[in-house]
């Protein structure tokens, strides 16, 4: 049956166009109930159970299916995802509305629908002859959709009666809309609110905790006093932004101070890029990463960023007067030049809430169901939740979602989502850091795995098309120990003309990951492999990462090769790119390769090749440094794990060998050669990587620190910085140069991916290269996969596709990649921090030499070279008399009583794990030397400093 709608539309040119929309109605759409004779199995895919074995409901004891409306799906998705809820009918009307209103919820509901154990069925009611409804005159779209849902629910109940005479199956309509529920009951449809139904499931009381609390009236705090001003409606905000009364930006909460935040203003031409907000009322219920509208305050009310550290640690307090006292603390007397543009939040344009990990702060009131949840991320306010399982959840990591933030509540309201496990347990903490850094880490879905090659896999004739056979070459790989995802291999041989041929061979991942399929989409979403201390979260499934793409020795592998002809001065005479097939002759570690190069009696082909590569690499590095490339330093640590408990038993900084540098030089050279080639071929849509030069103000700390040691650091160009760092040596203090390079690293900007057609500054500051990209690690970086595709098209080895030559699509990919890389970096740091805590937990109290990296107003930041560990030594403590502190920003220096501390001074510190705050355990450092009465810890007091609570079991063998 065909329904059609006709309407007239005015075109841009002023003409009138007649539009006819056709809508097909069918008889053969199944109801989804397995064994329904009336439908005759018309439906395909996951189906509803014929006799639902769901938890008994006291409201509806007979077997039933659930049919939720749009708002239930949008707001109660956590309940619907629970294993206890099964046999749910999702109407097309509802699904379309959800898709328009929330992409994340739509994705979650699709995932649940695809899970066959849940028995969720999508019913195409808009194309079913008996359930389609037309919009009536005077009826708005919302009312029409509500009516369509009721019509479908009524049809289902009548249809299911036809299954058999004694059939008691019912469809229960779940809605939180009071009017809609009343109409449904009038029409004879069994209907309940989500809360009524969940509370009727007596066997699953824990489900009640997962209910989102939506009625703000019901959750008003007892005082009912209005704390915050009302948020303006979106229409008013948009008018205000257009007229310039308000500014739109991203709200960034402070980790250090819960009463302060900044808003980064969107748009390039804003003179006030950053607006500071101070005080609860001015923050006005905005949450980190929300898009907000702010009003600039008059200059007389501008403030300076406060240097006070304030954490919200009150227990269940709604004491706003106390907050106002704290706000006064922030307003210190400052010079006028310190004042920053200050504003207040007038409305929320877009909420960017996510599920938050953290811990429950149990209420002191006995039998109370209301508790405060403290997120692990200090930028997120505490959240008030209702739960009956508070005693079970105490001391555990849980996930909570925010539902809303009423004007009269000191904290937002939320609901419990999931229990992750005990705090401090390795699996739990790893899960927390992956969730908190938004690292996609779920197992790969069947849809993704279906695009992997079938095993056993071998190279076919078709694979050899447009490929060179390089299996005869003496190729080897050099990697860290234990590496299974080998991206790159190298070779070097002498040619008949006396020149050298050097090849960099990279795993041909783009051969296996074809554009646009589920495997490609998932790799693009993940963006990068994340390396934690004991775990690797792969970007591509393991079959590819550790097997078919990994360039292991003695097996044939597909590669993408970059081959140069060079003279003995490492000058490139010819460059060739080709898809290839290789057979690596050896998989070596950096140490093994170094031994071969250094060994006088080894003269085999692999060793000769390595020596040739090493010799050229040294020349390449020298040339690069002459151009102004920077050699910076950052202390990288390596943990040695106990083979049984997998706890860290030793911690040392990584040792770098000549072979590390050798591999790095050729990777850089390949990346630069490929960047030039793809930009030549695709000037508008090459994916490149740039490293912006830091603004001069970034270098202030480095220049001042060097000056305090009578050294001059020049920062006008990268070359002058590199040269002055090379000159900054002190025979009496050999570690000084490393410290300066570590400090210089802190001054740098972040390197980013970008699309060549969207930017005109390509320069890579750190490498002193006019153009750069990433080509050499496609197993662990999606950027390299795109670069491989571009290069393959450039040399005619593969065909193009529309997204590859769309610069806007490419810019979107770059944006996601930059975000994923940044998050992976933070997750890796968090993993190192957690393992460092585990190490010191077993080690007890340790005393080590350290160097001062920064001096602050009331603290020094030190680096302990032995462990590559950084920490802060505070000189002001709660409940202790404050010492006399004099801070000088110019030198910089900090005088404590009569002792002066400068940057790079050598001190001795005591390291201990402070477990007094379970959620934020931290390494605490205190001064041992130099001795300052009342500040330093006398060496004989060290054994009494036990902050670990009860005595911990000693490690099996300590080093």
Pick from 236, 375, 310, 257: which is nearest to 277 by CA? 257
Specify if 432 maps to a domain.
no
Alpha-carbon distance of 281 to 294, in angstroms, equals 12
Mean pLDDT of 796-822: 91
Shared-domain flag, residues 487 and 575: yes
Task: Give pLDDT tens digits for 702-748.
Answer: 888 888 787 888 888 888 888 888 888 877 788 888 888 888 888 88
Query: Is pLDDT above 80 for 825?
Result: yes
Q: Which tokens go with 500? A: 């050298």
Question: Which pLDDT belongs to residue 551?
Answer: 95
Task: Give pLDDT tens digits for 243-292.
Answer: 889 999 999 998 878 888 999 988 765 556 889 998 889 999 999 999 99
Question: Which pLDDT belongs to residue 492?
Answer: 95
Task: Give pLDDT tens digits for 346-355.
Answer: 999 998 888 8
Query: Is pLDDT above 90 for 512?
Result: yes
Locate the DSSP E strands across 538-571. Answer: 556-566
Alpha-carbon distance of 445 to 541, in angstroms, equals 10
Contact 493, 474 (CB under 8 A): yes
Specify if 235 maps to a domain.
no
Specify if 290 maps to a domain.
no
95 pLDDT band (50/70/90 cuts)?
Answer: very high
In CATH, what number is assigned to the domain containing residue 69?
3.40.50.1010
* Higher local confidence (pLDDT), 161 or 236: 236
Secondary structure (DSSP) of 717-744:
SHHHHHHHHHH---TT-TTHHHHHHHHH
Pick from 481, 457, 489, 464: which is nearest to 585 by CA? 489
913 pLDDT band (50/70/90 cuts)?
Answer: confident
Pairing of strands 291-296, 246-253: antiparallel
CA separation, residue 676 to residues 265, 507, 772, 811 (Å) = 35, 20, 8, 19
Shared-domain flag, residues 508 and 595: yes
Task: Give pLDDT tens digits for 130-157.
Answer: 899 888 888 888 889 999 999 999 998 8
Mean pLDDT of 552-581: 95
User: To the nearest whole number, what is the mean pLDDT of the chain?
Assistant: 84
Specify if 270 maps to a domain.
no
Specify if 111 maps to a domain.
yes
Pick from 710, 697, 694, 696: which is nearest to 891 by CA? 710
Alpha-carbon distance of 139 to 900, in angstroms, equals 78
Q: Which tokens go with 743? A: 């400090």
Question: Which pLDDT belongs to residue 946?
Answer: 44
Q: Which residues contact 829 (CB under 8 A, 6 or more apart)?
A: none
Query: Is pLDDT above 90 for 572?
Result: yes
Q: Which tokens go with 369? A: 């169901």
Specify if 924 maps to a domain.
yes
Task: Give pLDDT tens digits for 282-324.
Answer: 999 999 999 999 999 998 888 877 655 666 665 444 555 556 6
Task: Give pLDDT tens digits for 448-494.
Answer: 999 999 989 999 998 898 899 999 999 999 998 888 889 999 999 99
Question: Which pLDDT belongs to residue 865?
Answer: 81
Domain end, chosen from 179, 210, 241, is at 210
Shared-domain flag, residues 771 and 850: no
Alpha-carbon distance of 740 to 724, in angstroms, equals 10
Shared-domain flag, residues 875 and 734: no
Q: Which residues contact 885 (CB under 8 A, 6 or more apart)?
A: 857, 858, 875, 876, 894, 895, 896
Q: Long-range contacts for 178-183 (Cβ within 8 Å, ≥24 apart)?
A: 180/69, 180/146, 180/149, 180/150, 183/146, 183/150
Which of 335-339, 388-392, 410-414, 661-665 bottoms out in mean pLDDT, i.e. has the lowest?
335-339
- Say which residue the tokens 């406060």 belong to: 306
Query: Is pLDDT above 90 for 387?
Result: no
Query: Is pLDDT above 50 for 515?
Result: yes
Shared-domain flag, residues 856 and 884: yes
Query: Is pLDDT above 70 for 122?
Result: yes
Shared-domain flag, residues 741 and 768: no
Domain end, chosen from 771, 792, 825, is at 825
Shared-domain flag, residues 566 and 684: yes
Question: Which pLDDT belongs to residue 820?
Answer: 94
Torsion of CA 902, 906, 912, 914, to 10 degrees: 10
In CATH, what number is assigned to the domain containing residue 861?
2.40.50.140
Domain end, chosen from 682, 715, 747, is at 747
Shared-domain flag, residues 578 and 599: yes
Contact 568, 502 (CB under 8 A): no
Length of the chain: 959
Q: Which domain holds residue 740?
A: 696-747
CA separation, residue 389 to residues 207, 402, 404, 416 (Å) = 11, 18, 22, 10
Specify if 855 maps to a domain.
yes
**Number of domains making up the chain:** 4
At residue 815's C-alpha, the angle toward residues 813 and 816, to 5°, is 65
Shared-domain flag, residues 643 and 727: no
Question: Which pLDDT belongs to residue 898?
Answer: 78
Shared-domain flag, residues 627 and 729: no
Question: Which pLDDT belongs to residue 786?
Answer: 96
Q: Which tokens go with 540? A: 């591509």
Contact 559, 510 (CB under 8 A): no
Shared-domain flag, residues 633 and 572: yes
Shared-domain flag, residues 721 and 767: no
Contact 11, 17 (CB under 8 A): yes
Answering whether pTM is above 0.85, one says no
Specify if 874 maps to a domain.
yes
């Amino acid at each position: 049956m065909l329904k059609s709608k006709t309407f007239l539309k005015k075109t841009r040119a002023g003409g009138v166009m007649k539009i006819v929309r056709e809508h097909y109605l069918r008889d053969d759409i199944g109801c989804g109930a397995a064994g329904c004779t009336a439908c005759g199995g018309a439906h395909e895919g996951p189906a509803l159970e014929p006799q639902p074995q769901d938890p008994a409901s006291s409201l509806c004891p007979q077997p039933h299916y659930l049919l939720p409306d749009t708002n239930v799906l949008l707001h109660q998705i956590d309940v619907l995802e629970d294993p206890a809820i099964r046999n749910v009918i999702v109407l097309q009307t509802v699904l379309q509305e959800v898709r328009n209103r929330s992409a994340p919820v739509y994705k979650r509901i699709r995932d649940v629908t695809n899970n066959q154990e849940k028995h969720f069925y999508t019913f195409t009611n808009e194309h079913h002859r008996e359930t389609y409804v037309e919009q009536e005159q005077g009826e708005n779209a919302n009312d029409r959709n509500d009516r369509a849902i009721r019509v479908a629910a009524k049809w289902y109940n009548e249809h299911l009666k036809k299954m058999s005479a004694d059939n008691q199956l019912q469809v229960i309509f779940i809605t939180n809309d009071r009017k809609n529920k009343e109409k449904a009951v009038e029409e004879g449809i069994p209907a309940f609110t989500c809360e009524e139904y969940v509370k009727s499931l007596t066997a699953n009381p824990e489900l009640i905790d997962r209910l989102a609390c939506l009625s703000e009236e019901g959750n008003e705090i007892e005082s009912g006093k209005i704390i915050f001003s009302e948020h303006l409606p979106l229409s008013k905000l948009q008018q205000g932004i257009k007229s310039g009364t308000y500014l739109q930006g991203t709200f960034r909460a402070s980790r250090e101070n819960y009463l302060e935040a900044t808003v980064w203003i969107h748009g390039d031409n804003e003179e006030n890029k950053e607006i500071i907000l101070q005080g609860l009322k001015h923050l006005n219920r905005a949450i980190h990463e929300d898009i907000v509208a702010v009003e600039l305050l008059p200059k007389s009310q501008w403030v300076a960023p406060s240097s006070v550290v304030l954490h919200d640690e009150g227990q269940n307090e709604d004491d706003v007067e106390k907050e106002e006292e704290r706000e006064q603390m922030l307003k210190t007397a400052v010079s006028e030049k310190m004042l920053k543009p200050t504003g207040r939040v007038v409305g929320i344009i877009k909420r960017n809430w996510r599920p938050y990990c953290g811990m429950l702060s149990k209420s002191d009131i006995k039998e109370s169901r209301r508790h405060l949840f403290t997120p692990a991320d200090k930028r997120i306010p505490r959240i008030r939740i209702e739960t009956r399982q508070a005693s079970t959840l105490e001391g555990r990591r849980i996930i909570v979602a925010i539902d809303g933030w009423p004007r009269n509540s000191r904290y937002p309201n939320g609901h419990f989502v999931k229990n992750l496990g005990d705090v401090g347990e390795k699996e739990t903490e790893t899960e927390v850091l992956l969730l908190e850094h938004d690292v996609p880490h779920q197992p790969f879905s069947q849809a993704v795995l279906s695009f992997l090659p079938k095993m056993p896999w071998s190279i076919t004739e078709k694979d050899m098309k447009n490929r060179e056979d390089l299996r005869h070459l003496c190729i080897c790989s050099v990697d860290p120990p234990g590496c299974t995802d080998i991206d790159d291999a190298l070779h070097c041989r002498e040619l008949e003309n006396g020149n050298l041929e050097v090849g960099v061979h990279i795993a041909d991942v783009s051969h296996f990951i074809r554009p646009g399929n589920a495997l490609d989409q998932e790799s693009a979403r993940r963006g990068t492999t994340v390396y934690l201390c004991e775990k690797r979260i792969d970007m591509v499934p393991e079959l590819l990462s550790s097997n078919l793409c990994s360039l292991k020795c003695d097996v044939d592998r597909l590669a993408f090769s970059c081959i140069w002809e060079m003279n003995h001065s490492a000058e490139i005479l010819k460059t060739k790119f080709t898809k290839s097939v290789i057979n690596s002759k050896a998989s070596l570690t950096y140490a093994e390769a170094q031994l071969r190069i250094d060994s006088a009696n080894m003269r085999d082909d692999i060793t000769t090749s390595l020596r040739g590569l090493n010799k050229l690499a040294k020349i390449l590095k020298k040339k690069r440094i002459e151009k102004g490339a920077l050699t910076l330093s950052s202390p990288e640590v390596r943990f040695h794990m106990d083979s049984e408990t997998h706890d860290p038993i030793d911690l040392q900084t990584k040792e770098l060998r000549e072979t590390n540098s050798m591999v790095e030089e050729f990777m850089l050279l390949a990346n630069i050669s490929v960047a030039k080639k793809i930009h030549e071929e695709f000037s508008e849509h090459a994916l490149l990587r740039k490293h912006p030069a830091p603004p001069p103000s970034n270098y202030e700390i480095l220049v001042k620190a060097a000056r305090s040691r009578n050294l001059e650091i020049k920062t006008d160009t990268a070359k002058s910085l590199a040269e002055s760092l090379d000159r900054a040596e002190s025979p009496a203090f050999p570690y000084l140069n490393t410290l300066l390079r570590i400090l210089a690293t802190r001054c740098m900007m972040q390197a980013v991916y970008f699309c060549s057609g969207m930017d005109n500054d390509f320069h890579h500051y750190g490498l002193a290269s006019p153009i750069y990209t990433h080509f050499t690690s496609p197993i662990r970086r999606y950027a390299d996969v795109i670069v491989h595709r571009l290069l393959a098209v450039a040399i005619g080895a593969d065909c193009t596709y529309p997204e590859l030559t769309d610069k806007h699509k490419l810019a979107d990919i770059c944006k996601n990649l930059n975000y994923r890389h940044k998050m992976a970096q933070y997750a890796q740091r968090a993993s190192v921090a957690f393992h460092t805590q585990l190490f010191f937990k077993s080690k007890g109290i340790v005393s080590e030499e350290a160097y001062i990296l920064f001096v602050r107003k009331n603290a020094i930041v030190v680096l302990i070279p032995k462990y590559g560990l950084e920490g802060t030594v505070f000189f002001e403590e709660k409940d202790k008399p404050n010492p006399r502190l004099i801070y000088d920003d110019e030198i910089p220096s900090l005088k404590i009583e009569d002792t002066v501390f400068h940057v790079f001074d050598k001190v001795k510190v005591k390291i201990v794990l402070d477990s007094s705050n379970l959620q934020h355990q931290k390494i605490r450092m205190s001064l041992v030397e130099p001795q300052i009465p009342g500040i330093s810890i006398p060496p004989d007091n060290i054994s009494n400093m036990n902050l670990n609570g009860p005595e911990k079991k000693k490690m099996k063998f300590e080093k």
